[in-house]
Structure 1
Amino acid sequence: MSIDLTEETITDAVQQTFEGCTNERVREVFVTLVQHLHDFAREVRLTSEEWFTAVDFLERVGRISTPTRQEFVLLSDILGLSVLVDQINHGNGSATDSTLLGPFYVEGRPRAENGADISGGVAGMPLFFSGTVVDQDGRPVVGADVDTWHSDSEGFYDVQQADKLHGEPAMRALLDTDDDGRFWYRSIVPRYYPVPTDGPCGEILRAAGRSPMRPEHIHFWLHAEGYEPLVTMLFRGDDPYLERDAVFGAKRSLVADFVQHEAGETAPHGTVMSEPFQTVEWTFTLAPARG
């Protein structure tokens, strides 16, 4: 029956419309979604004004989103859904823990040679990163693609300052691991920063009285044939926002040592540095591909 529906019968009526769906998983997801969505509306006694406000909010999330500003991703992040989905799908045992992709990953990043300076000329304290990619038996993973990206020393990504950088990418690159499973590069030290609050997601944070801050981190997305992709980050252990990440993505297992070095010390590439710099080393462990 699809007429004269009541608060009690509408849910079943909508769910029945998916009975002809030939994709079992699609049917399961939508039938369950309708159940929870309707139960939510009944539980909170959602008003018409609140429904209009919610629809307007989602429309504004869509309007502000661009290829370099993913407000829907940010909405998922600040509501904890992104981390929840990651936890459901990536309980990978002895492999490196995964975490959020974040809204600032972009396609078209430049491919760089190991040892390259990927800072794009952005000013900041030099950072030398050295990584090794291994399997769960500790054997090097050769030829893995490693995406990396991070903010500048003021907490801004390149896509947030396109005019200043003339549209050129900075502090991001795609590298390959060598025969020892290693990759390395030079960049600048990132900084903690607030998630964008000038859009609809900022309204949620302000309404809740929540901090918008993310702790200092470096992003990585690793791909290698025969292994599960790994999306992860490394965090500075003494960051003031580590315990209250606005998007719930920080993990103690991903805390790295950002080692401070003074001017006059020798950098990993063999040059005596005339300014202070930092180094980070990390080993990433990949899980075998499923099935």
Structure 2
Amino acid sequence: MSRAVVASFAGTEDPRLHTLMTDLVRRAHDFVTSNDLTTAEWEFAIDFLTRTGQVCSDVRQEFILLSDTLGISTMVDILTNSRVREQTPSAVLGPFYVEGPPAVRSGADLAEGLPGVPMWVDVAVTDPDGAPLPDAIVDVWQSNEDGFYDVQLPDLDGPVLRGQFRTDADGRLRFWTILPCEYPIPDDGPVGQMLDAVGRHPFRAPHVHFMISAPGHRRLITQLFPSDGAYLTSDSVFGVKHNLIVDMPEHRGPTPDGRVVDGAWRRLDFTFRIAPDA
């Protein structure tokens, strides 16, 4: 049977498409035969994929979530970006990125009064040799202290905890946000049922997302994880990389921009290095 299906792709003009389709068929058929898959099991798999698609909407992508929790997203990310060793490590995009985030100025507060531990962020964007990259576009997004992104909270009036910055002449940008917290991925759908069935927890390690673009350079999609965060060794989407775990130390008293903070606040300093376009 495998030979017949593989042969049916002989007329494929695109050589890469031909390779992908024929290899997919061989591996899928091997999975079916080596596991002696039953009709009931295959019907369950089809139903699972159908329900996964039915959950998808303009604010929720269950298929990305499935790819993430199976480690496929991270594998593709590693294969795509690990060859660029002079660049800050990348990480998965995740299902909650939204195109066209609001433009915000350096020094803004992305939390806009939401509860949480205040955190001052001071980051730089440079080339691999450390030369600053001015006017780089930096998208930032994260969840609130309860683990929800703004797109999951219909009562919110507009975007929050997300924004788009441009680096200054020194390649830097600064802003306030809140300390990221661990949170469960949406587990009320098919992916959550899968995790429950195999005895896995749904929690992501705390993180802040960054997407960085500059003319003539590769786009970098990554995340930064506080070194004292939970689930660093068991992140549900396998997204944590050692070089993306950073200290976000606690401070008290005067802040870098003079803002008055009642109690403790955190600070994140980091330099992103992005590689020239090949």
Please classify the TM superposition score into its range, dividing by the shorter chain length: over 0.9
| Residue in 2 that maps onto 1:37 | 28
CA distance in 1 between partners of 2:217 and 2:147 (Å): 32
- Secondary structure of the residue aligned to 1:235 is strand
- Secondary structure of the residue aligned to 1:148 is strand
Q: 1:144 aligns with which of 130, 136, 148?
A: 136
> Is the 8 Å Cα contact of residues 120 and 169 (structure 1) preserved in structure 2?
no
1:140-196 per-residue CA deviation (whole Å, 9 max, x = no partner) reads: 111111011011112111111122x13x11100011111111011111222100111
CA distance in 2 between partners of 1:259 and 1:27 (Å): 52
Residue 268 (1) aligns with residue 256 (2):
yes
Unaligned stretches of 5+ residues in structure 1 = 1-9
> Is the 8 Å Cα contact of residues 116 and 179 (structure 2) preserved in structure 1?
yes
Give, in angstroms, the shift of residue 19 of structure 1.
1.4
Letter of the 2:264 counterpart: P
Q: 1:188 aligns with which of 157, 178, 201?
A: 178
| Residue in 1 that maps onto 2:126 | 134
Letter of the 2:195 counterpart: L
RMSD of the TM alignment (CA)?
1.1
1:236-271 per-residue CA deviation (whole Å, 9 max, x = no partner) reads: 111221111011011111111112122xx1112123
CA distance in 1 between partners of 2:176 and 2:182 (Å): 19
TM-score of the aligned structures, taking structure 2 as reference length: 0.97
> Is the 8 Å Cα contact of residues 122 and 174 (structure 2) preserved in structure 1?
yes
1:82-106 per-residue CA deviation (whole Å, 9 max, x = no partner) reads: 1111111111212100111111111
1:187-228 per-residue CA deviation (whole Å, 9 max, x = no partner) reads: 122210011110000111111101111111100111111111
Count of paired positions: 277
Q: 1:160 aligns with which of 149, 152, 155?
A: 152
Unaligned stretches of 5+ residues in structure 2 = none
Q: 1:124 aligns with which of 113, 116, 119?
A: 116
- Secondary structure of the residue aligned to 1:253 is helix
Equivalence map 1:8-23=2 (5 Å): 10-23=1-14
Give, in angstroms, the shift of residue 11 of structure 1.
1.2
> Is the 8 Å Cα contact of residues 181 and 229 (structure 2) preserved in structure 1?
no
Letter of the 2:153 counterpart: Q
CA distance in 2 between partners of 1:222 and 1:252 (Å): 20
| Residue in 2 that maps onto 1:25 | 16
TM-score of the aligned structures, taking structure 1 as reference length: 0.92
Letter of the 1:169 counterpart: P
> Is the 8 Å Cα contact of residues 151 and 158 (structure 1) preserved in structure 2?
yes
Structure 1 vs Structure 2: percent identity of aligned residues? 42
> Is the 8 Å Cα contact of residues 120 and 177 (structure 2) preserved in structure 1?
yes
| 208-217 vs 119-128, greater mean Cα deviation | 119-128
Equivalence map 1:93-242=2 (5 Å): 93-163=85-155, 165-166=156-157, 168-242=158-232
Letter of the 1:261 counterpart: H
Give, in angstroms, the shift of residue 24 of structure 1.
1.1
- Secondary structure of the residue aligned to 1:115 is coil
- Secondary structure of the residue aligned to 2:233 is helix
